[in-house]
Structure 1
Amino acid sequence: MLESRPRKLLDQVRDALRVKHYSYSTEKTYVYWIRRFILFHNKRHPSEMGTMEVTSFLTHLAVTEHVASTTQNQALNAIVFLYRVVLQQELVGVDAVRAKKSRYLPTVLTPEEVQRIIAHLYGAYKLVVQLLYGSGLRLSEGLQLRVKDIDFAQHQLLIRDTKGRESRVTMLPNRLIEPLQAHLQSVRGLHQQDLDRGYGSVYLPYALERKYPHADRHWIWQYVFPADRLSQDPRSGVTRRHHLHETGVQRAVRSAVRLAKVEKRVTCHTFRHSFATHLLQNGYDIRTVQELLGHKDVKTTMIYTHVLNRGGRGVRSPLDG
């Protein structure tokens, strides 16, 4: 009887990430950095390497490739996961040259600029961007909203499995209630068409699919912003209707910014930055804003107080008299 061949290292990494319920985007990122690490050392197996090789790779990223500190930390996290979880080895004394931390201040739109941009958006893309600004969501959080996460009666959204793998509650703007309800009526019709064709399944997080065998076809679990077409799940191979892809929203925002003639570098995340800054401008305390954004540390939210202080920390220029 032939012995089964051991799984390849990167497949073992994917297995370990899925057991620990990491997101698919994190899985792709970790596999990318682990592959980069292996190729940097001429395809040597990580079990034959250790702290010295990890240090040299991270130093190369900082000194030669000039990556941001967040990028270097991302690479480090991926490699630590490889050694600690997959190879069951501890890395001790990694002392790489650290990438310089950015002092970048986020771009913030004025309320008038926000409305000009939104005026050039349509359909589901418009609703997504209105939620990014009106509720302070990250793009991934907006796209991953499910029907059950919207509480119209309480005017709130429940944001699950966020960046810190926790949940939070934020507001649902009053002016979005009717448009969202109308949108969900059309989404429900699309879902019924999928069911009639033998589809209608949606990805369920963690072990919920085994715990609730038919929940993946229930209406409340469907995405609020479903994709236009069915696609094959890259993990399970099941044909499902996923949510809208991020690139579609990003392209729509770039086009709207150009048409609105807003001369700023605007991304989808700019609307979340603007949400936080405008709340502070309207007199809400920073702890409230921290909770709505889902920041673990108030220091992260403090960046918006620097945005509020105009050039020179609010000092009046002598040219202005």
Structure 2
Amino acid sequence: MTSDSAAPAESARLRAEQVTLGYGDTVISRELDFAVDDREVTAIIGPNGCGKSTLLRALGRLLRPGAGRIVLDGRPIRSVPPREVARTVAVLPQSPQAPPGLAVADLVARGRHPHQSWYRQWSSADRAAVSHALELTGMLDCADRPLEQLSGGQRQRAWISMALAQQTDLLLLDEPTTFLDLAHQIEVLDLVRELNERHGRTVVMVLHDLNLAARYSHRLVAMSQGAVRAAGTAEEVLTPGLLAEVFGLRCAVIPDPVSGTPLVVPVGAHDTAPGTAATASGALGSQAD
């Protein structure tokens, strides 16, 4: 069911409770509630600047709320040592950067830092974790290649490998398909679903493509102006009325012929195909409630 807020379920392993988020004097969200559904893929959608990435950063302990709290496994996340958080939650930010010439295996090895200390350096367990992460993402053959020599899809798989090497079961991915062509977007999102379905990873990702969000996620959370406007299945969230409210978008919503999930078809000012505007208007009227 859709709702104006995403009240944090007490059973959720990771949740935001009445958080106020922002940067300096700029407030992005006030009294925001959000809960991560365990062992599901959740996509956060919304227009640019609505607070999607800010929320993800707070969930990953990269941003301290001005008020309220983030709770991880029943404890306020700020009371949990950073190394322990990093063994539980892996965060992949937008457009991550690596030093020139860094090989894929060396990048992925950085994911083992939370498991090391001054008295426990590189071990056979670390090597096994790196190899397993590369195997999961299909990147073993690229282990010795410099990151900059890879395709966009391969680079994104390498970064996901680093997150997997942390051996967390919670993955927070901020726009994992940014700057990728459509084939590589599908490649990365197929991997996300495989990690969820075959390996039990809980995934929260920020996505801009509504149709891919619908196809690859169990749950959508729509944000606008720093607030959660709706949360539920793709069928519940991707309605013409809600998309008009959140994105200012006139559209029709039809079944995706491949997946059966909702397919958003935008209607532009210059669309003149017979019946297009009327169909979209009818859809707006019938589903606005």
TM-score, normalised via structure 2 length: 0.23
More helix by share: 1
TM-score normalised by structure 1 residue count: 0.21
Return the index of the structure with the highest Cα Rg.
1
Larger proportion of strand: 2
- Which has the bigger relative contact order, CA under 8 A and spacing at least 6? 2
